[in-house]
C-alpha cells in the first residue's frame, strides 16, 4: 500500500488519494489544433521507471500533488503541490 | 438559533444532544449535537492576511485557538473554524466582516455531525478504522487531521491526553459513522443497541 | 486406557489436569489443554488423518505446524465449517468437532482410492491430452466428474456469522517470528526505546525452542522464553501478538498480519472478532521466521507414519506423545541424532538411524558410543506397509538392497529450508547456498533485517546473537541511536549429505516418490514435465501444480527444484525458483473484508428529511450512497399506481420532492464568472446577480460530463449545483481547472452539499403554496421570475428560493440548512394541504423530466455529446473545456445517433429502456439504428413515452420504426417524435 | 505425437517415457518471413494462424522469458463476448466461436468450460443499461438472457438476497461464457504452431528495431540480429516500452490488475458471477479453488503485484454478495500488467512504420480475446491490411474521435 507524504497532511495511505495520471502533459492554447489536443488528452509516455503524476488528496487537504514515483519499485522520489509553481507552501 | 424545530444528524435515533454510550475503562462516546462550523477560504495570495485578521495559525496538523474559536488549517489557504452553537451566529457575523476583501466564509454548521470519543481505549477504537498513528509520541493534545475512516471523511481533533477526540463528519454520513463507532467499541464494552437503528430501504 | 495409548506418562507442556473432549469423524476422544488436534489424535493412536487430492492415498501427520501438507480436516460445522484446516495448527478446545475430507464412504475404506489403480495414467498434465472426444461431452460429463473429485473439504453451508475487524499499527520495529532470534531482536529493540511489535503464528512463543530439550544458560528453553517475553512486555513499549501470522510484506513496507483472536475457542467472546487483520506500517522490520525441515523423496514416502524428524521429536518433547512404538530414523545430517537422543530420553524405542553420510560427526559419534543403532551410507528406498507404515526398505550407497527394517514410524531429516517467503514476495530472487544446501533470502532493503535460521544461521547460540544484533540495528535505523552495534554471526556450512531424492527402488515397484504431498506430485511427474519441455521452473509449477496446494510448497519446493535441476543437468542455482506470492499462509476472506461486508459494505447517506419520508411510507432507492425516496405508495397502491398518481399531481396541482442530494458548491471570488465560463459550454459572463442559469460541462475529450443550474448570489459568490452521481467528480474537475488549467483566476470554492437540504415544489399551485409558506415574501412573477433567485428567511432560518423547473411546471426549489429539513417538510405539508400537496419520488421525477425531454443519467452516459442531446447550439465561441475535441469528425458525424422522442404507435404497447431501434419487425438479428435510453408510463400523455438516440435524429421526426427488445422477444412499432411531450412552448413554467 | 486416449494409454503402460517435447527448443535463424515479438497467448496464436490460415510458416516467436509468462498466465480465466459496442461485440464473438472449437483445432485440451457468465444488476437504471447491451448482443447474434431476481436465485443460490447493501435485482446472463485453463492456451498454441514449423524462441529479448527508409527490416535481440520484413508486436503490458524503440507514442498506460485464488473446496459455484455495485467477479476452477478479481489498483505500474486497498475492496465486494466466502481462505494473490488504452478497447493495426504491426491495448479483455486477436493480427500481417473484425481497432481513432468507450468514463483508465 503506497504511503504518500502529503506536504500538508503528512504521510497518508494511498486510499486517501485519487490518482489523476500523467502530470507532464500540458493543455494546449485555446486555438491549438485537434491533433495537439488529442496528443494532450490521449497519448502518454507511460515510462517503466520514474513517472511524474498527479494524485489528489481527496481524503485530506484535497490539494493536487505532483508525485515522482517509480512504476516498477513504486518508490516515491518526490512530492510537491501542483497549484504552486515550485510546489512550496502557499503565501 | 437554538430553535427546537431543528434536528441533529442523529435525531432519528432518539438521541438527545450530549447523550452517548459508555464502555469499560472509562470509554465514552457521545453526540455533541450542533456546533458552529465554518469553512474559511482565503482569496488567492491573501492567506497571510486572513490568518492575521482572524488570529489563525497557518501551520497544518495543529489546532489554533483564537478569539473566534478553534481553527484547523485544513489546506493551504483554508481553515475550518469550530465554535459552540450558541456563539455561531455572532461568530459568522464578525468573521464575515473581518474577511471582507481577503477571503470568504462558508457556514457549514448544519452540514456536520460532531461526536466525542474519550477514554484510554479510545485510541484502540480509532485504530480500527483510522490509519493515522495517534500514539502519544507522535500526536498529542491539539493534534488535528483530516482523514477518512470506514469510507467516511472525518476531521479528528485530539483535545486532551485522556485521550479525548472530537470527530466531525458530514451530516448525511452521521448514522453510518455512529454505527461504525459503536461496533468498534463493542469489544471494549460499549453496548449501543438502543442507539443504533437499522436504516430502512422501504 | 485407549485415550492415553501413545501419551507419555510424564514430560511435555500439556496440562494433564485439564482434559478436553473432542470428536473426529464421529468418534469421541480426549486430549489435554495445550494439545493440538494432531497431537491429541496421535496420543489416541489415530494416524490416518485424510486422503490425498488426486490418488486418494491415505495420509497422516508429517510436520508440526503451518507447513503440514497432509493432516487437513474440516473443523466446526454449518455456517462455521472451515475446510482444509491443518490439524497441527488447530488448538484443541473442549467440544471440538473435526471431520476428515475427500473420502467416501469412510476414511479407512475410501472407494475413490480406486484412482490409484489408474494412477499410471493420471500423471501430470494428463487432462491436457484427453477428454477431447466428443467435445460435447466436456461440460456435462468429463468436467462434472473432475469438478466433483476436485477440492478437498467443503465450504460453510451459510453466510459467515462471525465478526472480523482491522487494526492499524505503527511500530518503530516489527519483529516477525517469536523464536530465539525474534525474541532476542525484540528485546534488543524495545530496551532502547523503540516501539516494538512482535508477531508469532503460534499460541506460545519460543519457536523451535518449544519442541527442544535444549537448555539456554543452564535453564530450559521455556524459562528463557518467558524471561525475555516479560522483559519485552514490561519495558512499556513492546507489544506481542500471539496466534498472529505475518501474511505479506507490501509496497512501502506495509505488513499485513492475521491474528486468530478466537479460533482456539468454541465461539468468539461477546463483541470480539473471530479474526483480526493487522495493517502494520513499521519503520523497520526484522524477519526471524526460522526454518522448515524438509522431507526426502523416496517410494511411498507419504504413508501415515512417515514424519519429519523434527516433528517426531517435537511431538515427544512438547506434547508428550509417542508417534509410534518403533521409530526408524532416516537422516542426512545430525538432526536425526537429536531426535534419537530425545526419544531415548523419553523412553521411545529408536530401532535404527539410517545415516546417508559415510563419515561420523561429533553428535553421531557421541550417540553411537552410547549404543544408538546407526547404519552409515544407508539410503531410504521405500516405506513399507498397507495403509500405515510397517517397515523401511533401505539400500546402501552402492545401490545394494539392505534388509527390510520393521518399524511403525519413519522419521526423516532431510535438511532445512529457511522460511524466506516474506522476503521474496516483492519479486527479489532468493540465493542458493551450496554450503548450506538451502536458499537464503535475497539482499534486503535498508528497512529490513533478517535474523537466525531464516538466513541459514542454525546454531542456537548464534541465532540469539544474530537476533540481538539485528534488533539493535533495526532500532538504530529507526532513530534510536544508542542501540549498541554488534557483529552478525555468519551461517556455518552444514555437515550434511546432499540427498533430495533417494535412488529408485531396485526392481519393479509401484511405489511413488512424492515431492508435493498435498497435490500428489511425484519426482517422476517432474521428470515427465522436463521431458515434454515444461522445464522452466514456472512451467513446471503450472504443468504439475507443484507447490500450488494450500501449503504453498513449504515442504515441496526445494525438493522439486532439486529434481528439476538434476533432470536438466543444471545446478539448482541456475534453474531458479518460482516467485512466492502472499499470503504466507492461507487467510480467511472475511478477515480482509473486515467491517465492510453485507449491509455495511458501504456507508449510507441520509438526507435531512429521511425520517419524514419514512413516515410518508417511502420506498427508497440507492443513488450512489444516498437513499432517496423512489415513490410513496398509499394503502392498496402498487408502484405503478403510486408513480402515476405522483406524476399526475404535479401536473394538476402540486408536488414536493426531496432534492437534497444534488451536489452543491459555493464558488467565491472576483473571477468566479470567468471561471464558470471555462467550465460550461455556454456563456456566463453576463449572468446578473439574483439569476440562475442552466449549464452543461464537457470532459476535455468533448463528451458531456455533467449539467446543472448555477445561481449568482452576489458579485463574487455563485452557488453551483451538479448531479447527485457526479458531485464528487465535478468538485475534483473544478479543482483541477483552478489549480492546473487556469491558475490565474482569483476564485475559490468548497462543497456545500450537506449544509443545505432542499425540496422542489412543482405544479400549478406551487406559487400559492410558496406564498402561504413564506409570509411577507413577494412570490409574484415580477418579483421572482423564471430563473430568478431570492435569499430570504423561513421561520428564522436562512432560506434560498430558486425559480427553476426540472418538471416543466411552475416550480421552485427551496434550500434551507440541514437542521431545518424536517421543519421545512412539515410546514410545506401544512401550507400545501389545501392543494393536496403530494410527495413524489425519483420515479415520478423521471416521468416528469422525460415528458419534457430533459436529459439525465441515461442520456449522459459518457459517450454522448452536446450536439447528440440537442444542445449543440449552446456551445459558445469562447474557450471552454472540451471545445476543441468536441469538433472532431467522430463526434460530429451526421450519422451519430441523436436525441429523439419515441412513443408506441398503439397506445397500449409499452416501451422498455435498453430497446434498440430497428427497421425490420420480423428479425431479431439486424443492424441497430440506436437505442431507447429512458422510458415512462406517462399519466399526462396517456401512454408510454421515451427518449432515445437514433441515427439521423431530428431529421426522422414522424417516422415509424421498431423498438426491438430481443431479450424478451418484443418488437414494438414506434413513432419518432420531438423529445418533448408536454407543453412544448413552455408556457406552464413561465406562467 | 497426437494426444489421444490411445496414446495416453500406451504411454501409461510404458511409464510415459515416450512423450516428446510439446514444442522444440528452437534457436533463432538469421532470417524469417515474419517475426512475432511476445510469446504470450496473443503472439503464439498469431504465429499459429499465420501458418495455418495464411501459409506463412517461416515465423519466429521471440519471448524474453518463458512462454505464457505474461497475462495469459495471470488472469482470472474468464471468456465472454458480452460487449455493447458493435466492433467489440463482433470481435469477441469471433473469439468465442474459436474457443468453442479450440481443443480439436489444437489437439490440446484447454478446458473451455461454458458454464455461463452472470453480471448482476442492482437497480432499474442498471438493468436498462444491461438490457441495452444484451439487446445489442442479440441483434448481433450473440446469446444473452436478462434474468430477474428469482432467476438469479435459482442459478446462484449462494448469493445474499437479504442483507445486501445493494440488493440484487437480477442479471445479464451469457450462457456461452465461461472459463478456460489459461496456461494451457499458451502451451496449446505453442505446440500447434511448432508442429506447423514455427520457431518458438524463449529467453530471447527484442532490444531494438532496424528501420530503413520508413520500413522495418529486422530486429536486434539478445541472441543477435534477426532480419524480417514483417514484425508483429504482441507484448501487452509492455507495449509502450517496445513501441518507443520504433519511435511510437501510444494512447496506452500500464496498470496493475490483481487476481486472487482460494484453497480448493468441493463445488459451490458453477457460473462466473460479477457484482454490479462494486468491483468483484468470481468463478470456481475445476481444481476447486475460487478464482476472483476486481479492478485496477489505479495507478501506472509495471509491477506484477497488487496492494491492499484493491484487495480490501474486492474481498468486501465478495462479502457483500457471498457471505459464505467468509471462512474460505485466500491462497495466493498476484498482479498482471494491463495495457490500458484511453477508451478501454484494443489496438490491432498497422503502424506508421511499414512492416511493423501492433497488437496491444487489451485492457481487461486480453485473455478472452486470445484466439480472435491472433486470428485478426495474422490476417493483418499477412495481408498488410486489417480484417473487418479489427478495422475499428486503430490508433488513429483517438485523433478522429471514432472511439470505442464501453464504460463511458473517457480517457481516464484509472477511473473505476
Contact criterion met (CB < 8 Å) for B108 and C755: yes
Answer whether residue C966 shows pLDDT above 60: yes
D304 touches chain C (CB under 8 A): yes
Instruction: Provide the pLDDT for residue A91.
Output: 31
Average pLDDT across chain D, whole number = 96
pLDDT digits (tens, 9 = 90+) for C448-461: 999 999 999 999 99
Neighbouring chains of D at 3+ CB pairs under 8 Å are A, C
pLDDT digits (tens, 9 = 90+) for A43-79: 999 999 999 999 999 999 999 999 999 999 999 999 9
Confidence band, pLDDT 50/70/90 cuts, at residue B2: very low
B194 touches chain A (CB under 8 A): no
- Chain B residues close to A63, C-beta within 8 Å: 75-76
Separation of CA C357 from chain center: 48
Confidence band, pLDDT 50/70/90 cuts, at residue D5: confident
Average pLDDT across chain C, whole number = 95
Confidence band, pLDDT 50/70/90 cuts, at residue C242: very high
Instruction: Provide the pLDDT for residue C810.
Output: 96
Q: Quick one: CA dihedral C576, C578, C579, C582, positive or negative?
A: negative
Separation of CA C736 from chain center: 32
Answer whether residue C314 shows pLDDT above 90: yes
Evaluate whether A8 touches A61 at the Cβ level (below 8 Å).
yes
What cell numbers appear for C128 in the block?
491436457
- Chain A residues close to B61, C-beta within 8 Å: 9-10
Q: How many CB pairs under 8 A join C and D?
A: 355
B135 touches chain A (CB under 8 A): no
Instruction: Provide the pLDDT for residue D162.
Output: 86
Instruction: Provide the pLDDT for residue B42.
Output: 97
CA distance C762 to C813: 9
Give the mean pLDDT of C413-432: 92
Q: What percentage of chain D reaches a pLDDT higher than 70? A: 100
Evaluate whether D301 touches D336 at the Cβ level (below 8 Å).
no
| C642 contacts: CB under 8 Å, gap ≥ 6 | C631, C632, C633, C634, C843
Confidence band, pLDDT 50/70/90 cuts, at residue C113: confident
Out of C126-135, C369-378, C680-689, C741-750, pick the least confident.
Answer: C126-135
Q: Which chain A residue's Cα is nearest to D413?
A: A21
Cα distances from D381 to residues D37, D49, D215, D349, D391, in angstroms, run 13, 11, 14, 9, 13
What cell numbers appear for C743 in the block?
491558475
Instruction: Provide the pLDDT for residue A90.
Output: 36
Contact criterion met (CB < 8 Å) for B60 and A8: yes
pLDDT digits (tens, 9 = 90+) for B40-74: 999 999 999 999 999 999 889 999 998 899 999 99
A62 touches chain B (CB under 8 A): yes
CA distance C552 to C603: 37
CA distance C816 to C755: 8
pLDDT digits (tens, 9 = 90+) for D302-318: 998 999 999 999 999 99
Residue in C347, C327, C336, C333 with CA at minimum distance from that of residue C391: C327
Contact criterion met (CB < 8 Å) for D411 and A34: no
Neighbours of D394 (CB within 10 A): 17
Instruction: Provide the pLDDT for residue C4.
Output: 62
Instruction: Provide the pLDDT for residue C192.
Output: 96
Confidence band, pLDDT 50/70/90 cuts, at residue A83: confident
Cα distances from C637 to residues C617, C632, C642, C847, C936, in angstroms, run 12, 9, 6, 18, 18
C176 touches chain B (CB under 8 A): no
D130 touches chain C (CB under 8 A): yes
- Chain D residues close to C126, C-beta within 8 Å: 8
pLDDT digits (tens, 9 = 90+) for D258-289: 999 999 999 999 999 999 999 999 999 999 99
CA distance C22 to C97: 6
Q: Calculate how close chain A gets to D106, using CA atoms only, in Å.
A: 36
- The more confident residue out of D8 and B123 is B123
CA distance C830 to C772: 9
| Mutation choice for C interface testing from A4, A33, A37 by most C CBs within 10 A | A37
Answer whether residue B3 shows pLDDT above 60: no
A51 touches chain D (CB under 8 A): yes
Instruction: Provide the pLDDT for residue C3.
Output: 42
A90 touches chain D (CB under 8 A): no
Q: What percentage of chain B reaches a pLDDT higher than 70? A: 93
| D144 contacts: CB under 8 Å, gap ≥ 6 | C967, D82, D133, D134, D135, D137, D138, D172, D173, D174
Among C599, C749, C819, the residue with its CB nearest the CB of B110 is C819
Contact criterion met (CB < 8 Å) for A41 and C701: yes
D185 touches chain C (CB under 8 A): no
Contact criterion met (CB < 8 Å) for A42 and D253: no
Contact criterion met (CB < 8 Å) for B188 and C271: yes
CA distance C538 to C544: 10
Give the HSE-up count for residue C7: Cα atoms under 13 Å, Cβ half-sphere. Answer: 24
Give the mean pLDDT of C547-552: 92
Out of B147-151, B181-185, C506-510, C672-676, pick the least confident.
Answer: C506-510
Give the ipTM of the model, two decimals please: 0.97
Q: Calculate how close chain C gets to B127, using CA atoms only, in Å.
A: 5
Cβ within 8 Å of A, C 211-250: 250
- Chain B residues close to C169, C-beta within 8 Å: 127
Evaluate whether A25 touches A46 at the Cβ level (below 8 Å).
no
Among D250, D300, D309, the residue with its CB nearest the CB of A53 is D300
What cell numbers appear for D185 in the block?
492456451
Q: Calculate how close chain C gets to B75, using CA atoms only, in Å.
A: 12
Altogether, the residues listed in chain C come to a count of 991
Contact criterion met (CB < 8 Å) for C128 and D69: no
Strands (E), C675-737: 692-698, 704-714, 717-722
Instruction: Provide the pLDDT for residue A89.
Output: 41
Would you list the DSSP string of D61-96?
EE-SSSTT-SGGGTS--EE----SSHHHHHHHHHHH
Answer whether residue C485 shows pLDDT above 90: no
Give the mean pLDDT of C403-431: 94
Strands (E), C545-654: 587-588, 618-623, 626-632
Instruction: Provide the pLDDT for residue B4.
Output: 63
A85 touches chain B (CB under 8 A): no
Evaluate whether B45 touches A91 at the Cβ level (below 8 Å).
yes
Instruction: Provide the pLDDT for residue D416.
Output: 54
Q: Calculate how close chain A gets to B24, using CA atoms only, in Å.
A: 31
Separation of CA C570 from chain center: 39
Confidence band, pLDDT 50/70/90 cuts, at residue A85: low
Give the mean pLDDT of D49-74: 97
Give the mean pLDDT of D33-42: 98
Instruction: Provide the pLDDT for residue B5.
Output: 79
CA distance C139 to D163: 33
- Chain C residues close to D333, C-beta within 8 Å: 581-583
SS (H, E, C) C623-691: ECCEEEEEEECCCCCCHHHHHHHHHHHHHHCCEEEECCCCEEEEEECCCHHHHHHHHECCCCCCCCCCE
- Chain D residues close to C153, C-beta within 8 Å: 265-266
Out of B7-11, C141-145, C778-782, D211-215, pick the least confident.
Answer: C141-145
- Chain C residues close to B146, C-beta within 8 Å: none
Residue in C231, C190, C206 with CA at minimum distance from that of residue C475: C190
CA distance C438 to C293: 11
D354 touches chain C (CB under 8 A): no
pLDDT digits (tens, 9 = 90+) for A22-48: 999 999 999 999 999 999 999 999 999
Cα distances from C181 to residues C175, C466, C959, in angstroms, run 10, 6, 84
Amino acid at each position: 500500500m503506497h504511503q504518500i507524504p502529503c506536504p500538508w497532511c503528512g504521510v497518508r495511505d494511498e486510499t486517501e488519494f485519487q490518482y489523476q495520471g500523467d502530470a507532464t502533459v500540458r493543455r494546449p492554447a485555446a486555438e491549438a489544433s485537434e491533433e495537439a489536443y488529442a496528443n494532450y488528452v490521449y497519448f502518454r509516455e507511460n515510462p517503466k521507471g520514474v513517472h511524474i503524476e498527479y494524485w489528489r488528496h481527496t481524503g485530506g487537504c484535497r490539494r493536487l500533488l505532483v508525485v515522482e514515483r517509480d512504476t516498477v519499485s513504486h518508490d516515491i522520489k518526490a512530492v510537491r503541490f501542483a497549484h504552486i509553481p515550485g510546489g512550496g507552501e502557499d503565501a | 438559533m437554538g430553535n427546537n424545530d431543528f434536528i441533529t444528524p442523529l435525531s432519528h435515533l432518539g438521541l438527545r444532544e450530549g447523550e452517548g454510550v459508555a464502555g469499560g475503562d472509562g470509554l465514552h462516546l457521545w453526540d455533541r449535537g450542533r456546533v458552529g462550523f465554518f469553512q474559511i477560504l482565503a482569496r488567492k495570495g491573501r492567506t497571510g492576511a486572513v490568518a492575521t485578521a482572524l488570529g489563525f495559525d497557518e501551520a497544518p496538523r495543529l489546532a489554533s485557538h483564537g478569539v473566534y474559536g478553534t481553527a484547523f488549517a485544513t489546506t493551504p489557504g483554508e481553515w475550518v473554524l469550530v465554535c459552540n452553537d450558541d456563539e455561531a451566529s455572532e461568530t459568522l457575523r464578525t468573521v464575515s466582516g473581518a474577511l471582507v476583501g481577503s477571503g470568504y466564509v462558508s457556514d457549514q454548521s448544519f452540514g456536520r455531525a460532531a461526536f466525542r470519543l474519550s477514554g484510554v481505549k479510545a485510541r484502540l477504537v480509532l485504530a480500527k478504522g483510522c490509519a493515522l498513528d495517534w500514539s502519544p509520541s507522535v500526536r498529542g493534545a491539539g493534534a488535528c487531521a483530516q482523514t477518512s475512516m470506514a469510507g467516511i471523511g472525518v476531521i479528528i481533533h485530539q483535545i486532551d491526553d485522556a485521550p479525548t477526540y472530537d470527530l466531525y463528519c458530514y451530516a448525511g454520513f452521521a448514522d453510518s459513522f455512529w454505527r461504525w463507532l459503536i461496533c468498534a467499541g463493542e469489544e471494549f464494552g460499549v453496548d449501543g443497541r438502543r442507539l443504533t437503528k437499522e436504516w430502512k430501504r422501504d | 486406557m485407549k485415550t492415553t495409548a501413545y501419551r507419555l506418562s510424564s514430560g511435555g507442556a500439556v496440562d494433564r489436569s485439564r482434559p478436553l473432549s473432542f470428536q473426529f469423524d464421529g468418534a469421541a476422544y480426549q486430549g489435554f489443554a495445550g494439545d493440538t488436534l494432531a497431537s491429541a489424535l496421535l496420543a489416541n493412536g489415530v494416524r490416518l488423518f485424510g486422503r490425498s487430492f488426486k490418488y486418494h492415498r491415505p495420509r497422516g501427520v508429517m510436520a508440526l505446524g503451518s507447513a503440514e501438507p497432509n493432516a487437513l480436516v474440516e473443523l466446526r460445522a454449518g455456517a462455521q465449517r472451515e475446510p482444509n484446516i491443518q490439524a497441527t495448527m488447530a488448538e484443541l478446545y473442549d467440544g471440538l468437532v473435526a471431520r476428515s475430507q475427500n473420502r467416501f464412504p469412510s476414511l479407512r475404506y475410501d472407494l475413490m482410492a480406486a484412482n490409484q489403480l489408474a494412477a499410471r495414467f493420471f500423471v501430470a498434465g494428463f487432462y491436457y491430452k484427453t477428454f477431447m472426444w466428443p467435445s460435447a461431452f466436456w461440460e456435462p460429463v468429463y468436467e462434472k466428474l473432475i469438478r466433483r473429485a476436485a477440492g478437498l473439504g467443503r465450504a460453510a453451508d451459510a453466510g459467515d456469522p462471525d465478526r472480523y475487524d482491522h487494526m492499524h499499527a505503527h511500530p518503530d520495529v516489527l519483529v516477525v517470528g517469536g523464536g530465539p532470534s525474534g525474541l532476542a531482536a525484540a528485546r534488543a529493540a524495545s530496551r532502547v526505546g523503540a516501539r516494538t511489535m512482535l508477531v508469532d503464528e503460534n499460541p506460545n512463543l519460543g519457536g523451535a525452542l518449544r519442541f527442544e530439550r535444549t537448555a539456554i544458560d543452564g535453564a530450559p528453553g521455556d524459562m528463557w522464553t518467558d524471561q525475555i517475553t516479560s522483559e519485552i512486555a514490561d519495558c512499556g513499549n513492546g507489544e506481542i501478538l500471539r496466534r498472529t501470522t505475518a501474511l505479506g510484506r507490501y509496497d512501502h513496507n506495509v505488513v499485513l498480519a492475521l491474528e486468530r483472536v478466537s479460533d482456539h475457542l468454541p465461539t468468539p467472546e461477546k463483541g470480539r472478532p473471530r479474526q483480526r487483520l493487522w495493517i502494520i506500517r513499521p519503520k523497520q522490520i526484522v524477519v526471524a521466521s526460522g526454518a522448515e525441515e524438509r522431507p526426502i523423496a523416496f517410494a511411498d514416502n507419504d504413508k501415515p507414519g512417515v514424519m519429519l524428524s523434527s516433528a517426531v521429536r517435537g511431538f515427544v518433547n512438547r506434547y508428550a506423545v509417542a508417534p509410534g512404538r518403533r521409530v526408524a530414523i532416516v537422516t542426512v545430517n545430525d538432526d536425526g541424532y537429536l531426535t534419537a537422543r530425545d526419544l531415548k530420553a523419553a523412553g521411545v524405542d529408536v530401532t535404527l538411524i539410517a545415516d546417508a553420510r559415510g563419515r561420523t560427526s561429533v553428535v553421531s559419534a557421541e550417540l553411537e558410543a552410547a549404543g544408538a543403532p546407526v547404519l552409515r551410507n544407508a539410503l531410504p528406498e521405500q516405506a513399507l506397509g498397507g495403509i500405515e507404515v510397517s517397515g523401511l526398505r533401505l539400500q546402501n550407497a552402492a545401490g545394494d538392497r539392505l534388509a527390510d527394517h520393521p518399524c511403525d514410524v519413519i522419521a526423516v531429516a532431510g535438511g532445512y529450508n529457511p522460511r524466506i517467503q516474506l522476503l521474496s514476495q516483492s519479486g527479489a530472487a532468493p540465493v542458493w547456498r551450496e554450503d548450506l544446501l538451502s536458499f537464503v533470502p535475497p539482499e534486503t532493503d535498508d528497512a529490513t533485517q533478517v535474523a537466525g535460521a531464516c538466513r541459514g544461521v542454525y546454531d542456537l547460540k548464534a541465532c540469539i546473537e544474530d537476533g540481538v544484533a539485528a534488533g539493535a540495528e533495526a532500532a538504530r535505523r529507526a532513530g534510536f541511536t544508542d542501540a549498541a552495534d554488534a557483529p552478525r554471526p555468519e551461517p556455518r556450512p552444514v555437515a550434511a549429505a546432499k540427498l533430495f531424492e533417494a535412488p529408485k527402488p531396485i526392481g519393479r515397484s509401484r511405489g511413488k516418490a512424492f515431492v508435493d504431498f498435498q497435490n500428489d506430485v511425484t519426482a517422476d511427474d517432474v521428470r515427465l514435465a522436463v521431458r515434454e519441455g515444461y522445464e522452466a521452473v514456472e512451467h513446471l509449477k503450472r504443468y504439475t501444480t507443484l507447490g500450488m496446494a494450500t501449503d504453498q510448497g513449504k515442504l515441496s519446493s526445494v525438493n522439486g527444484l532439486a529434481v528439476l535441476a538434476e533432470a536438466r543437468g543444471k545446478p539448482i542455482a541456475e534453474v531458479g525458483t518460482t516467485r512466492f506470492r502472499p499470503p504466507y499462509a492461507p487467510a480467511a476472506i472475511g478477515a480482509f473484508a473486515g467491517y465492510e461486508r453485507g449491509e455495511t459494505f458501504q456507508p449510507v447517506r441520509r438526507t435531512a428529511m429521511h425520517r419524514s419520508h419514512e413516515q410518508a411510507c417511502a420506498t427508497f432507492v440507492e443513488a450512489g450512497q444516498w437513499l432517496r425516496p423512489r415513490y410513496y405508495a398509499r394503502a392498496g397502491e402498487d408502484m405503478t399506481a403510486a408513480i402515476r398518481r405522483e406524476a399526475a399531481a404535479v401536473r394538476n396541482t402540486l408536488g414536493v420532492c426531496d432534492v437534497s442530494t444534488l451536489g452543491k458548491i459555493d464558488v467565491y471570488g472576483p473571477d468566479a464568472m470567468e471561471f464558470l465560463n471555462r467550465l460550461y459550454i455556454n456563456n456566463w459572463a453576463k449572468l446578473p446577480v439574483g439569476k440562475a442559469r442552466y449549464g452543461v460541462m464537457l470532459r476535455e475529450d468533448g463528451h458531456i460530463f455533467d449539467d446543472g443550474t448555477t445561481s449568482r448570489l452576489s458579485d463574487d459568490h455563485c452557488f453551483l449545483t451538479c448531479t447527485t452521481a457526479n458531485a464528487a467528480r465535478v468538485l475534483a474537475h473544478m479543482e483541477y481547472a483552478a489549480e492546473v488549467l487556469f491558475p490565474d483566476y482569483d476564485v475559490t470554492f468548497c462543497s456545500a452539499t450537506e449544509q443545505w437540504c432542499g425540496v422542489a415544489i412543482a405544479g400549478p399551485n406551487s406559487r400559492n403554496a410558496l406564498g402561504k409558506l413564506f409570509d411577507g415574501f413577494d412570490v409574484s412573477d415580477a418579483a421572482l421570475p423564471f430563473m430568478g433567485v431570492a435569499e430570504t428567511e423561513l421561520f428564522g432560518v436562512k432560506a434560498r428560493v430558486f425559480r427553476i423547473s426540472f418538471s416543466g411546471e411552475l416550480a421552485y426549489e427551496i434550500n434551507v440548512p440541514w437542521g431545518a429539513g424536517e421543519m421545512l417538510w412539515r410546514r410545506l405539508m401544512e401550507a400545501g394541504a389545501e392543494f393536496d400537496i403530494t410527495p413524489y419520488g425519483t420515479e415520478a421525477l423521471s416521468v416528469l423530466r422525460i415528458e419534457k425531454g430533459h436529459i439525465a443519467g441515461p442520456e449522459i452516459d459518457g459517450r454522448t455529446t452536446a450536439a447528440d442531446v440537442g444542445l449543440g447550439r449552446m456551445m459558445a465561441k469562447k474557450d471552454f473545456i472540451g471545445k476543441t475535441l468536441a469538433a472532431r469528425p467522430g463526434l460530429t458525424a451526421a450519422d451519430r445517433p441523436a436525441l429523439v422522442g419515441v412513443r408506441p404507435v398503439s397506445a397500449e404497447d409499452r416501451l422498455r429502456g435498453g430497446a434498440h431501434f430497428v427497421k425490420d419487425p420480423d428479425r431479431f438479428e439486424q443492424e441497430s439504428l440506436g437505442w431507447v435510453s429512458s422510458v415512462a408510463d406517462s399519466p399526462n400523455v396517456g401512454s408510454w413515452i421515451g427518449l432515445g438516440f437514433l441515427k439521423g435524429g431530428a431529421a426522422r421526426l414522424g417516422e415509424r420504426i421498431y423498438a426491438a427488445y430481443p431479450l424478451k422477444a418484443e418488437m414494438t412499432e414506434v413513432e419518432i417524435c420531438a423529445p418533448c411531450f408536454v407543453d412544448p412552448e413552455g408556457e406552464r413554467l413561465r406562467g | 505425437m497426437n494426444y489421444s486416449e490411445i496414446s495416453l494409454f500406451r504411454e501409461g503402460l510404458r511409464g510415459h517415457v515416450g512423450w516428446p517435447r510439446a514444442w522444440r527448443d528452437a534457436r533463432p535463424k538469421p532470417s524469417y518471413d515474419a517475426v512475432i515479438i511476445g510469446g504470450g497467448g496473443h503472439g503464439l496464436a498469431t504465429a499459429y494462424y499465420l501458418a495455418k490460415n495464411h501459409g506463412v510458416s517461416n515465423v519466429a516467436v521471440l519471448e524474453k522469458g518463458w512462454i505464457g509468462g505474461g497475462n495469459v498466465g495471470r488472469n482470472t480465466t474468464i471468456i465472454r463476448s458480452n460487449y455493447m459496442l458493435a466492433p467489440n461485440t463482433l470481435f469477441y464473438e469471433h473469439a468465442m466461436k474459436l474457443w468453442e472449437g479450440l481443443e480439436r483445432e489444437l489437439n490440446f485440451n484447454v478446458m473451455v468450460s461454458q458454464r455461463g457468465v452472470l453480471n448482476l444488476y442492482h437497480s432499474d437504471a442498471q438493468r436498462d443499461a444491461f438490457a441495452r447491451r444484451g439487446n445489442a448482443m442479440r441483434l448481433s447474434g450473440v446469446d444473452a438472457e436478462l434474468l430477474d431476481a428469482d432467476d438469479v436465485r435459482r442459478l446462484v443460490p449462494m448469493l445474499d438476497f437479504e442483507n445486501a447493501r445493494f440488493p440484487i435485482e437480477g442479471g445479464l446472463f451469457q450462457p456461452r461464457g465461461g472459463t478456460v485453463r489459461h496456461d494451457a492456451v499458451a502451451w496449446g498454441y505453442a505446440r500447434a504452431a511448432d508442429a506447423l514449423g514455427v520457431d518458438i524462441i524463449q529467453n530471447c529479448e527484442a532490444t531494438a528495431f532496424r528501420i530503413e527508409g520508413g520500413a522495418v527490416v529486422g530486429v536486434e535481440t539478445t541472441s543477435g540480429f534477426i532480419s524480417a520484413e514483417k514484425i508483429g508486436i504482441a507484448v501487452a503490458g509492455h507495449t509502450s516500452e517496445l513501441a518507443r524503440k520504433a519511435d511510437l507514442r501510444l494512447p496506452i498506460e500500464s496498470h496493475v490488475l490483481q487476481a486472487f485464488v482460494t484453497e480448493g473446496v468441493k463445488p459451490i459455484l458453477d457460473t462466473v458471477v460479477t457484482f454490479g455495485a462494486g468491483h468483484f467477479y468470481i468463478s470456481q476452477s475445476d481444481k476447486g479453488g475460487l478464482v476472483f478479481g476486481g479492478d485496477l489498483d489505479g495507478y501506472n505500474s509495471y509491477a506484477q503485484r497488487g496492494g491492499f486497498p484493491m484487495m480490501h475492496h474486492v474481498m468486501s465486494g465478495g462479502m457483500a454478495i457471498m457471505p459464505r466466502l467468509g471462512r474460505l481462505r485466500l491462497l495466493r494473490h498476484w498482479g498482471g500488467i494491463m495495457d490500458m488504452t484511453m477508451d478501454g478497447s484494443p489496438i490491432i493495426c498497422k503502424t506508421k512504420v511499414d512492416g511493423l504491426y501492433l497488437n496491444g491495448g487489451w485492457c481487461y479483455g486480453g485473455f478472452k480475446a486470445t484466439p480472435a486477436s491472433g486470428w485478426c493480427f495474422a490476417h493483418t500481417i499477412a495481408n498488410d491490411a486489417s480484417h473487418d473484425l479489427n478495422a475499428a481497432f486503430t490508433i488513429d481513432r483517438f485523433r478522429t474521435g471514432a472511439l470505442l468507450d464501453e464504460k463511458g468514463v473517457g480517457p481516464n483508465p484509472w477511473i473505476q
